[in-house]
Amino acid sequence: MDVTLYESGTSRSARCRWTLLEAGIPFKSVARPNLARSDEVRALQPLGKLPVAVIDGKALFESAAICSYIADHAPDVDLIAAPGSWGRGQHDQWTSFVLTEMEAWLWNTAVNKFVLPPEQRIDAGFAQNAMLFGRAASALNEVLLRQNYLVEDRFTVTDIVAGWTVNWGRRQGLIDGLSGLQAYLERLFQRPHCTFAKD
């Protein structure tokens, strides 16, 4: 595979970088200030957002999609449950759960704290966002008190996708007291290729 990753530090593109490193797939990195929403990126992603992976000359965006595609194309590393298996259904389930029930609330807060121009921001929903994230985080915590990883109880790309969001919640102080999630992140941090922000 010929891969160019348009990325930005520990943003969602960190998921893609970690997946590529785990897969052992060499890649070219494009990362510089003001890359997001540049004409170069808009030509690859309609909103000009990062990450974007150009794979064999074709652009793929959305970090979970990129990670799943890369994992499918590294079968010797076994980073993702096989298509059509129960584990693959669980991969889709947990990826969707994390993106819709957890990350969406964190993103809404971020959008209204620093992404949008000040005159477009609405701060009335911050407490509600934290509450809704916490409800889903508590449910995920219960799962991870019973098992070490989300799919087939082994490390997979599902954990890269989900772990990034859990770590974002940790950095916002939203997983305090959730020992299952805290232990889960410690397992992920210990992996040599982990790209998550630890501050």
Q: How many domains does the chain have?
A: 2
Q: Is residue 90 domain-shared with residue 153, that is, in the same domain?
A: yes
Q: Is residue 121 domain-shared with residue 184, that is, in the same domain?
A: yes
Q: Is residue 90 domain-shared with residue 180, that is, in the same domain?
A: yes
Residue with tokens 């990883």: 149
Average pLDDT rounded to a whole number, residues 77-100:
98
Q: Is residue 99 domain-shared with residue 160, that is, in the same domain?
A: yes
pLDDT digits (tens, 9 = 90+) for 144-188: 999 999 999 999 999 999 999 999 999 999 999 999 999 999 999
Q: What CATH number does the domain containing 95 carry? A: 1.20.1050.10
Which pTM was predicted? 0.97
Q: Is residue 95 domain-shared with residue 178, that is, in the same domain?
A: yes
Q: Is residue 117 part of a domain?
A: yes
Q: What CATH number does the domain containing 61 carry? A: 3.40.30.10
Q: Is residue 42 domain-shared with residue 103, that is, in the same domain?
A: no
Q: Which residues contact 136 (CB under 8 A, 6 or more apart)?
A: 97, 101, 102
CA 53 – CA 65 distance, rounded (Å): 10
Q: Is residue 57 domain-shared with residue 96, that is, in the same domain?
A: no
CA 176 – CA 123 distance, rounded (Å): 23
Q: Is residue 108 domain-shared with residue 160, that is, in the same domain?
A: yes
Predicted confidence at residue 160, as pLDDT, reads: 98
Q: Is residue 17 domain-shared with residue 50, that is, in the same domain?
A: yes
CA 65 – CA 157 distance, rounded (Å): 11
Tokens of 42: 């808009």
Predicted confidence at residue 103, as pLDDT, reads: 98
Average pLDDT rounded to a whole number, residues 118-134:
96
Please check whether residue 67 is in contact with residue 19, taking contact to mean a CB–CB distance below 8 angstroms.
yes
Q: Is residue 93 part of a domain?
A: yes
Q: Is residue 50 domain-shared with residue 97, that is, in the same domain?
A: no
Mean model confidence pLDDT for the chain: 97
Report percent pLDDT > 90 for the chain. Answer: 99
25: containing domain: 3-72
Residues in the chain: 199
Q: Is residue 81 part of a domain?
A: no
pLDDT digits (tens, 9 = 90+) for 106-118: 999 999 999 999 9
Q: Is residue 25 domain-shared with residue 59, that is, in the same domain?
A: yes
Domain boundary among 15, 38, 72: 72
